[in-house]
Amino acid sequence: MNYFGLGSPIQMDLNAYFKRVGLTGSGPPSLSALRELHRHHVLSVPFENLSIHSGEKIILDISWLYQKIVVRNRGGFCFESNGLFSWVLQELGYQPKLLSARVRNKSSGAYGPPFDHFIMMVKLEGREWLCDVAFGEGLLEPALLDAAWEEEQATGIFRFQVEAGTWYMERKDGDLWRSLYQFTLEERRLEEYREMCEYHQVSPYSIFTYKSMCTLQLPKGRITYVGHRLIKKEYIRGIQCSKTTEELTEEEIPDLLRDKFGIVLKGKLIPKDEEFAPPVTK
């Protein structure tokens, strides 16, 4: 299915995308090629919402996302990064199926509204694989869509739970499992995410309007900017083993974003890190 009604004059080049994520190319669709693409995207493209706090409107158009992430060397939140990745997969012949997910808030346990999170599924070798390159503490590589699946990756230990057709992506914290988000396998179209993409840019009920953030997965850890803080985590076999926090002045932030994330903003960033209490949804 073609999700992308491209009407923009911007030229989109897969080779430029490969260069952006540190690859020279990708062969025909295969599980090994998909894993490599997914891993390189996660390790190269930050999850960030800095446009919201620097006066830039986010437009859910694949050519606009290509311009931002590939040409301007930016990152993005799920609609942007997973949106671009779904275009890459389609161009390479994977035929991704877009899915809607609802993210679980750590504090309240409440799930967000429908289309809260953009994910996708790919069929390969007779099996189905969940792809998600835009969740801060999520997958490094695709996950097998099987209720019995459980896997340790460099980013954590994950599994699926399924109840009455609803799937739950879970991550292990110590001895306990914590749900990250829930989703169904109903196929969606790109335009169905537009309302939530707008919501997360302006709503007082979205965490993205409360915090300016940028985070990048590293081979053995994670580096995160939020508000006036820089947080570094190091992992052993997917389990957090150390964490350091550095306080930043406003003057230090632009250099930090350039040096650590390769990001140079067009507008002036207004750092923000406020407490967030989401609305309760069923």
Give the whole-angstrom CA distance, residue 237 versus residue 112: 30
Q: How far is CA 125 from CA 80, 96, 122, 137, 148, in A?
A: 28, 14, 10, 27, 18
Give strand pairing partners of 152: 157
* Whether residue 200 lies in the annotated active site: no
CA atoms within 13 A on the CB side of 65: 23
Q: Which of 76, 70, 115 is nearest to 88 (CA)?
A: 70
User: Encoding tokens for residue 13?
Assistant: 């080049």
| Element housing 37 (H / E) | helix 31-44
Chain-centroid distance of CA 180 in Å reads 13
Give the whole-angstrom CA distance, residue 29 versus residue 229: 40
Q: Which of the residues 38, 41, 61, 78 is marked catalytic?
A: 78
Question: Which string of DSSP letters, residue by residue, matches 238-258?
Answer: TEEEEEEEEE--TTTHHHHHH
Q: Which of the residues 117, 131, 197, 200 is marked catalytic?
A: 117
> Is the Cβ–Cβ distance between 139 and 121 less than 8 Å?
no
* Whether residue 132 lies in the annotated active site: yes
Q: Which residue has the tokens 């290509």?
A: 66
Q: Which of the residues 41, 61, 132, 214 is marked catalytic?
A: 132
Helix count and strand count (H, E) for the chain:
6, 13
Considering all CA atoms of the chain, what is the largest pairwise distance in Å, rounded to the nearest integer?
53
| Residue 69: DSSP 8-state | I
Q: Which of 269, 262, 115 is nearest to 192 (CA)?
A: 115
Q: Which residues are catalytic?
A: 78, 117, 132
